[in-house]
Structure 1
Amino acid sequence: MANYVTIDETAHYVPEKVVTNDELAALMPTSDAWIQSHTGIKTRHIALEQNTSDLAAKVATKLLQQANLAATDIDLIIVSTITPDYLTPATACLMQDKVGATNAVCFDISAACAGFIFAASTAEKFLRRGQFKHALVISAETNSKMMDWQDRTTTVFFGDGAGGALLSQTADASKESFLAEQLENDGRQHEVIESGAVKPLSTISATHRPEIAPFKMQGRAVFDFATTAVPKQIQQLLTQQHLTADDVDLFVCHQANLRIIEGIAAKLMQPMTKFPVNVSEYGNTSSAGVPMALDQALQHQFTGKIIVLSGFGGGLAYGSLLIRL
Structure 2
Amino acid sequence: MAKYVKFLASAGYFPETVVTNDELSQIMETNDEWIQAHTGIKERRYAIDENTSDLSTKVALKLLKQSNLQAEAIDLIILSTISPDAITPSTAAIVQSNIGAKNAFAFDISAACSGFVYALSIAEKYVRSGQYQNVMVISAEVNSKMMDFTDRTSAVFFGDAAGGAILSASDNPNDEMYVAEKLATKGDADVIHSGRIAPLSAVKADNYPQMDAFYQDGRAVYEFVTSTVLAHIQQFLAEQKLTADDFDLIVLHQANLRLIEYIAQELKQPLDKFAINVPTIGNTSSAGLPTALAERLSDGQTYGKVLLTGFGAGLAYGSVILNLQNFSQK
TM-score (norm 1): 0.98
Match of 2:328 in 1: none
Distance in 2 (CA, whole Å) between partners of 1:271 and 1:66 is 30
Distance in 1 (CA, whole Å) between partners of 2:177 and 2:224 is 28
After superposing on structure 2, the runs of 4+ consecutive aligned residues of structure 1 that deviate more than 2 Å are none
| SS state at 1:165 partner | strand
Match of 1:113 in 2: 113
Task: Give the superposition deviation at 1:304.
Answer: 2.1
Aligned 8 A contact 1:82 1:111 in 2: yes
Distance in 2 (CA, whole Å) between partners of 1:258 and 1:130 is 40
- 1:283 and 2:282 correspond: yes
| Structure 1 residues 1-325: aligned runs within 5 Å | 1-187=1-187, 189-325=188-324
| SS state at 2:297 partner | helix
| One-letter amino acid of the counterpart of residue 237, structure 1 | F
| One-letter amino acid of the counterpart of residue 46, structure 2 | I
Task: Give the superposition deviation at 1:248.
Answer: 1.1
| One-letter amino acid of the counterpart of residue 197, structure 1 | R
| One-letter amino acid of the counterpart of residue 322, structure 1 | I
Deviations 1:154-197 (A, max 9, x none): 1000000000001100111111111111100011x220000001
Structure 1 spans left out of the alignment, 5+ residues: none
| SS state at 1:154 partner | helix
Distance in 1 (CA, whole Å) between partners of 2:15 and 2:156 is 17
| SS state at 1:322 partner | strand
Taking only the aligned residue pairs, the percentage that are identical comes to: 55
| SS state at 1:57 partner | helix
Distance in 2 (CA, whole Å) between partners of 1:301 and 1:260 is 27
| One-letter amino acid of the counterpart of residue 254, structure 2 | Q
Task: Give the superposition deviation at 1:231.
Answer: 2.0
Distance in 2 (CA, whole Å) between partners of 1:220 and 1:276 is 24
| One-letter amino acid of the counterpart of residue 63, structure 1 | L
| SS state at 2:190 partner | helix
Distance in 2 (CA, whole Å) between partners of 1:261 and 1:157 is 14
Deviations 1:264-296 (A, max 9, x none): 111211111111110001000000000000000
| SS state at 1:300 partner | coil
Aligned-residue Cα RMSD (Å) equals 0.8
| One-letter amino acid of the counterpart of residue 231, structure 2 | K
Distance in 1 (CA, whole Å) between partners of 2:272 and 2:195 is 36
Structure 2 spans left out of the alignment, 5+ residues: 325-330
Deviations 1:276-321 (A, max 9, x none): 1100010000000000000001111232200100000000000000
| One-letter amino acid of the counterpart of residue 199, structure 1 | A
| SS state at 1:157 partner | coil
Distance in 2 (CA, whole Å) between partners of 1:305 and 1:229 is 27
Aligned pair count? 324
Task: Give the superposition deviation at 1:242.
Answer: 1.2
Deviations 1:205-238 (A, max 9, x none): 0100000000000001111111222221112111
Distance in 2 (CA, whole Å) between partners of 1:302 and 1:292 is 16
| One-letter amino acid of the counterpart of residue 258, structure 2 | R
Aligned 8 A contact 1:180 1:237 in 2: no
| One-letter amino acid of the counterpart of residue 72, structure 2 | T
